[in-house]
Amino acid sequence: MDALSETLRVVRLMGAIFINGRFTAPWCYQSPHADYAAPLLEPGAERVVIFHMITEGECYVEMAGQPPVHLVAGDAVVFPQGDAHRMASAPGVPAATGAKLDVVLSRRPRKLSYGGGGAVTRLVCGYMACDARLARMLMAGLPSIVKVHVRGSNAGVWLESSLRYALSEARSPRPGGMGVLAKLSEVFFIEVLRIYMNEPTLGTTGWLAGLSDRIVGAALGALHKSPAHAWTLEDLASQVGTSRSVLAERFQLIVGIAPMQYLTQWRMLMAANLLAGSSAPLIRIAEEVGYQTDTAFSRAFSREYGVPPAKWRRSQVEKKIQEN
């Protein structure tokens, strides 16, 4: 399994909301910063990933301090840092009172339909809650707005049909509906990242840029393929086919941290996923992420999460009970 697939395998989407929008010019929809959206989406949500998919017409996305970005049908935008923004028929159009997120989320079904009677634009707005540490790793080095055109990929038609299904699922109170929405959000997010990795605007730093680099990408692939292996910098450099100094310098330059520090962070993310999703004994989880004793594992986990793994697991169980 490649590093991107392995990383996204442990993405924990705790909730997902889809909003169906039909607007006629002039119109403006205002989305607050993700920190504001998080409690509206899911109690205890750590991070919210926001995306919009234009299915008909055109519009602009505006953010403070940046020029407006033009979007057409088939474009999708993701906001890696969760910045506040406005979707509008033209730059400078004021937002309607009923087009603010907290107002929209209070409605059933969650849909918007308003405007001045001009040209029609349809879009799907998605809000996904996920693990904050994993989000930081995936989003590192990305611009404040990631724009891709999904209709230019083989998965484009399928993605749009999946979003339409997600909207119908959001309107239905059937059992398991939230789980379906979370999975659809995850798949959409994965496809957007895969498309963006081939864009000329990808950039030269960050985790996704590292995957595209020959040396760093090979190192990430090796670490993700065998995270429990007793890696040393020398072993990893030999596996990649370069020197220790070249690997260390290039990895730090692109990813932002040293290879062994990255390995520890990835092991702890895996461990947190296993702790939250299973009842496996601590020693088994410790061994699966490369530690021979639960004592050594507990020390490493506590440094990353601030509490021992057993206490962290109990807090996750209590959170699930409160949510239900």
CATH code where residue 30 lies: 2.60.120.280
Both tokens assigned to 34:
């993700």
Q: How far is CA 42 from CA 48, 190, 319, in A?
A: 9, 21, 11
Model pTM score: 0.81
Euclidean distance between CA atoms 268 and 12, whole angstroms: 14
pLDDT recorded at residue 314: 92
pLDDT recorded at residue 29: 86
Question: 124 and 38, same structural domain?
Answer: yes
pLDDT of 316 higher than 90: no
Q: How far is CA 308 from CA 125, 207, 226, 305, 313, in A?
A: 38, 28, 24, 8, 9
Euclidean distance between CA atoms 176 and 179, whole angstroms: 5
- What is the pLDDT averaged over residues 52-73? 95
pLDDT of 228 higher than 90: yes
Both tokens assigned to 87:
């979707």
pLDDT of 98 higher than 60: no
Question: 226 and 170, same structural domain?
Answer: no
Question: 141 and 41, same structural domain?
Answer: yes
> Mean pLDDT score of the chain, rounded to an integer?
85
Point out the domain boundary residue: 138, 163, 196.
196
Q: What residues are paired with 18 via a beta bridge?
A: 126
pLDDT recorded at residue 17: 76
Range in 52-61, 149-158, 225-234 the model is least confident about: 149-158
Counting the structural domains of the chain, the total is 2
Both tokens assigned to 123:
């879009």
What is 134-185 written as a DSSP string? HHHHHHTT--S-EEEEGGGSTTHHHHHHHHHHHHHHHH---TTHHHHHHHHH
Question: 168 and 43, same structural domain?
Answer: yes
Euclidean distance between CA atoms 224 and 266, whole angstroms: 8
Q: Does 205 fall in a domain? A: no
pLDDT recorded at residue 100: 62
pLDDT of 252 higher than 90: yes
Residues spanned by the domain of 318: 213-323
Question: 115 and 175, same structural domain?
Answer: yes
Query: In what order do the strands lie in the sheet containing 85-88?
Result: 28-31, 85-88, 58-62, 69-72
pLDDT of 54 higher than 90: yes
Question: 296 and 226, same structural domain?
Answer: yes
Question: 230 and 179, same structural domain?
Answer: no
Point out the domain boundary residue: 146, 165, 196.
196
Q: Does 311 fall in a domain? A: yes
Both tokens assigned to 207:
């985790």
- What is the pLDDT averaged over residues 159-168? 74
pLDDT of 300 higher than 60: yes
Question: 270 and 175, same structural domain?
Answer: no
Place of tokens 């119908």: 168
pLDDT of 103 higher than 70: no
pLDDT of 303 higher than 80: yes
Range in 10-19, 221-230, 248-257, 278-287 the model is least confident about: 10-19
Range in 171-180, 192-201, 248-257 the model is least confident about: 171-180
Q: How far is CA 270 from CA 16, 139, 290, in A?
A: 22, 18, 11
pLDDT of 238 higher than 80: yes
Q: What is the CATH number of the domain that holds 219?
A: 1.10.10.60
Point out the domain boundary residue: 140, 161, 196.
196
Element (H, E) at 85: strand 85-88
Question: 172 and 260, same structural domain?
Answer: no
pLDDT of 150 higher than 90: no
- What is the pLDDT averaged over residues 155-177? 70
Neighbouring CB atoms inside 10 A of 137's CB total 19
- What is the pLDDT averaged over residues 43-59? 85
Q: Does 203 fall in a domain? A: no
Place of tokens 């260390």: 248
pLDDT band per the 50, 70, 90 thresholds, residue 13: low
pLDDT recorded at residue 120: 97
Both tokens assigned to 47:
């991070």
Euclidean distance between CA atoms 265 and 285, whole angstroms: 15
Euclidean distance between CA atoms 140 and 51, whole angstroms: 17
- What is the pLDDT averaged over residues 210-227? 94
Question: 188 and 288, same structural domain?
Answer: no
Of 69 and 143, which is predicted with more confidence?
69
Euclidean distance between CA atoms 199 and 135, whole angstroms: 20
